[in-house]
A and B are shown apart, each in its own frame.
Chain A
Amino acid sequence: MDPMEVFKIEVTGQEEYGAKKYRELIMDILQDLGLIRSIGRLYVYIDILKPFFAVYGLLRSGIPPLTAKDVGDVMRVSGGYQIKINDEEHMADLLRALWEHYGRERVEQPARDMLIIASDTSPSEIVVADLEAEFLQDLTDALVRVAPEGFRNRRNEMTKDSFLFVAAEESLTPEILSEIKKKIREMENA
């Protein structure tokens, strides 16, 4: 079963096999990069004679940025705050954010999973990583991997809740783009 609500793929000409395989391929790549849960609907349109490759997707609700309190438990101790790290994956990002905010001399790490900050302001709300930006970066990487390799003229339009990725061998003209957009609107309404 598809984890996505809608996943349509259309290829012009006698290319049913290609369409079927590209479906598997897109699934494999999105799964490999852990992106599949964040995409709600996906429409793929391939014209192999022109040739171009287009993907339009709707994203599931935005991911809030990761703050210090998501990464560990923040506690008030004498002389400042203590963070007990639960998720070590973001340790480097957390340290960088704290150094930037408080300065290196006020951040101490007595143990691997323990940080002590000599300050009266709580670090709870400090942004450790912008997961949405990371997600969009990963998504672009996935789309470049999915597109056939020779299609080096690319266009990527990303908004907060959707993306349109077009790749072609020849230069992308406004006519091709409007044709793709029209086709994808048809697929959406079908």
Chain B
Amino acid sequence: MLEPVMFTGGLYKHDLVVELVEDLGGYILQKNVTQSEIILLILVPSEDKAALEDLSKELRGELVRAPLAGTEVAVVTPTLAIHHLPHTACDIAEYLRRHGSKTNMMGLARGVGREIAQINEYETALINEHDAAVFIFGNFQECIKKKEGLYRNITVPVVVTGGPQIEASELPYAFEYVPAIGRVAHRARKATEIGTLDRIVESIGRALDKTRTTIAKDPLTTSPPRVMDAVREQVPDVMFSYSPLPIALNLNGVRVKLPFEAYKDAVSSVSFDEGVKLGEIATIRPSRMKDYILVRILPASETGFVF
């Protein structure tokens, strides 16, 4: 069982952490360098976590559990106007990032209003490429109930946030509803506001666990971090991608941030030690996000084996 953790520490000697993780059979998911600091998102075998803890203590770094690591969450607001940003949406997105998730912020083109709110097919498909979504709504319960239409067709779990208390039974299409964070014009800094952000993270955690349980019933042929590692090794051009995270992990695959037409064959022919090619155990199709490549690993029931 791999455990998601986040290492924060000095840049000096951080390669010791990277080496140790690789020796233990773990994966480095993301590396963020900010001047002399570094933040590493790591998957490490849970039985060897103590070794990593010892090393990070020695390097005066900090190692915390990052329950959302290796997942991608969409934070969706009705638009990208000043009414929704920056406070609520950025606070939620930043808080999710601190718990290890890769967060994408999205503003709908016509998500505003009560009667006139809409979502289109492209936006729905783009949100469906994530592992979970957070929809941020306002302070009026009538509007929150009415705007259910925006996420009715979304297949990934949707956590809805808003101001007033609403019974879960009144929002049947939402995975969970987190109250007390409607439209606000200031940053979250009070203990109660931070508590609400914690509740959103917990709710997203439960949503992801539900997806993990579903996947466990029919396990994937191989794990997404392993695909990520293999693509990174065998398609070195991905490291020249300008994106901060050239390979984004999902629960059921990866998104490779390279142009689809030019690199689909290279990604498809990535091979594993077991003798199979990525194209045989996964679907490789264009992502709705820019011109990227979306890799979705097939379950064991379709390929007939797991490695």
Instruction: Give the B-binding residues of A (Cβ under 8 A).
Output: 11, 13-15, 17-18, 21-22, 24-25, 28-29, 32, 48-49, 51, 145, 148-152, 169-170
Contacts and interface: CB of A to CB of B under 8 A. Distances in A.
B182 A149 contact: no
A87 B295 CA distance: 61
Most chain B beta-carbon neighbours within 10 Å: one of A48, A150, A170 = A150
23 contacts: A11-B140, A13-B142, A15-B140, A17-B141, A17-B163, A18-B139, A18-B140, A22-B139, A24-B184, A24-B185, A25-B183, A28-B184, A29-B185, A51-B115, A148-B113, A149-B83, A149-B84, A149-B112, A150-B78, A150-B114, A152-B112, A169-B113, A169-B116
A22 B83 CA distance: 12
Given A14-B141, A51-B114, A149-B81, A25 B165 contact: no
B28 to A, nearest CB: 41
Contacts of A32: 185
For chain A, what secondary structure do more than half of its interface residues adopt (helix, strand, loop), or is it mixed?
loop
A39 to B, nearest CB: 16
A150 B146 CA distance: 14
Nearest to B78: A149
Interface in B75-91: 78-79, 81-84
A48 B143 contact: yes
A5 B164 CA distance: 28
B186 interface: yes
Interface residues on B, range: 20 to 34
A18 B81 CA distance: 20
For chain B, what secondary structure do more than half of its interface residues adopt (helix, strand, loop), or is it mixed?
loop
- Give the 8 A-B residue pairs with the shortest CB-CB distance, closest first: A150-B113, A150-B112, A28-B185, A17-B164, A149-B83, A18-B139, A21-B139, A18-B140
Given A29-B185, A149-B79, A150-B113, A15 B142 contact: yes
Nearest to B165: A17
A140 to B, nearest CB: 14
Nearest to A12: B142
Interface of B: 78-79, 81-84, 112-117, 138-143, 163-165, 182-186
Contacts of A169: 113-116
B164 A18 contact: yes
A18 B139 CA distance: 5
Contacts of B116: 150, 169
Nearest to B180: A17
A11 B79 CA distance: 24
B196 to A, nearest CB: 13
Contact of A145 (B79, B83, B138, B164): B83
B139 to A, nearest CB: 4
Contacts of A25: 139, 183-185
A151 B140 contact: no
B185 A18 contact: no
Contacts of A22: 139
Most chain A beta-carbon neighbours within 10 Å: one of B81, B114, B140, B184 = B140
